[in-house]
């Protein structure tokens, strides 16, 4: 199995290192193509006019000056141009939960979405900012569920769908389907350098963590991992086979 990993926090982020370790428990054919710096909240942005550069920094490891989506574009059109495309795209692990409206503008989600739009089974992973470093049990839990997602891809990886997995602060944990929440990120801004005719605005990645008791926030705060099955146009339920797997 060939796995491509990317993110929006940058190639040196701790979350991508954890995801890579878990992936390598499944296969040696793991490739990293990630932004050379933080690209959080870039959404499905593509560098149409500016273009971007990709540089090999190590074996099967590339840094991209563009957006998270550009990383997938680089994979499809350059890195794997004359060879087999990845079987699976993994995105993350994002530093911060990606719930509710985050699906629309998260760079982590955009990696998985672009993978899905290219016909590749794709899974995005996020976790609270106080996510504990992954130990052996946590890595084995991640690898086990990645394997299950791959084996059940026929149930969910179609019509532009991908999986959005939000991890709790500590693994291992139960994994459950979640309702799509309505927690609003980027609800607050700083107003800077304001005059009568101009202003500088800084959006803040703050939220109220509102929950209906059955959504992603509720599961995360209960110490459980949540999974939803979004696509470009909306959301759908996750087939039971995706969450029925119980790793040993």
CA-to-CA separations, 192 to 59, 187, 203, 204, 205, in angstroms, rounded: 44, 16, 11, 12, 16
- Structural domain for 121, as ranges: 3-180+210-244
Query: Does residue 64 lie within any of the structural domains?
Result: yes
Q: pLDDT tens digits, residue range 62-94?
A: 999 999 999 999 999 999 999 999 999 999 999
The answer to which of 41-50, 124-133, 237-246 has the lowest mean pLDDT is: 237-246
Query: Does residue 198 lie within any of the structural domains?
Result: no
For the stretch 50-54, contacts whose Cβ atoms lie closer than 8 Å and that sit 24 or more positions apart, written own/partner, are 54/78, 54/79
Query: Does residue 195 lie within any of the structural domains?
Result: no
| pLDDT band (50, 70, 90) for residue 179 | confident
Average pLDDT of the chain, as a whole number:
90
Q: What pLDDT was estimated at residue 248?
A: 38
Other beta carbons within 10 Å of 246: 10
Does 232 or 140 have the greater pLDDT score?
A: 140
Q: Shortest CA distance to 238 belongs to which of 145, 167, 183, 164? A: 164
Query: Does residue 87 lie within any of the structural domains?
Result: yes
Q: Shortest CA distance to 98 belongs to which of 22, 7, 32? A: 7
Model confidence at 104: pLDDT above 90: no
Domains held by the chain: number? 1
CATH of the domain at 170: 3.40.1210.10
Query: Does residue 201 lie within any of the structural domains?
Result: no
Place of tokens 């146009």: 233
Other beta carbons within 10 Å of 167: 28
* pTM of this structure: 0.92
């Amino acid at each position: 199995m060939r796995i491509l990993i990317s993110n929006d926090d940058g190639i040196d982020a701790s979350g991508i290192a954890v995801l890579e370790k878990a992936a390598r428990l499944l296969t040696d054919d793991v490739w990293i193509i990630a932004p050379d710096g933080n690209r959080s909240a870039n959404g499905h942005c593509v560098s149409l006019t500016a273009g971007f550069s990709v540089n090999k920094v190590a074996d099967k490891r590339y840094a991209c000056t563009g957006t998270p989506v550009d990383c997938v574009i680089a994979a499809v059109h350059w890195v794997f141009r004359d060879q087999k495309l990845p079987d699976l795209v993994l995105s993350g692990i994002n530093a911060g939960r990606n719930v509710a409206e985050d699906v629309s503008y998260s760079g982590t989600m955009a990696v998985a979405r672009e993978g899905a739009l290219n016909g590749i089974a794709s899974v995005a992973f996020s976790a609270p900012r106080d996510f504990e470093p992954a130990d052996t049990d946590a890595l084995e839990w991640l690898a086990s569920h990645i394997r299950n997602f791959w084996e059940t891809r026929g149930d969910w990886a179609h019509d532009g769908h991908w999986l959005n997995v939000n991890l709790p602060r500590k693994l291992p944990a139960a994994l459950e389907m979640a309702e799509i929440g309505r927690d609003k990120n980027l609800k607050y801004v700083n107003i800077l350098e304001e005059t009568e005719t101009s202003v500088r605005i800084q959006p803040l990645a703050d939220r109220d963590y509102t929950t209906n008791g059955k959504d992603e926030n509720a599961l995360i705060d209960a110490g459980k991992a949540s999974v939803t099955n979004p696509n470009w146009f909306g959301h759908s339920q996750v087939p039971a086979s995706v969450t029925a797997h119980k790793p040993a």
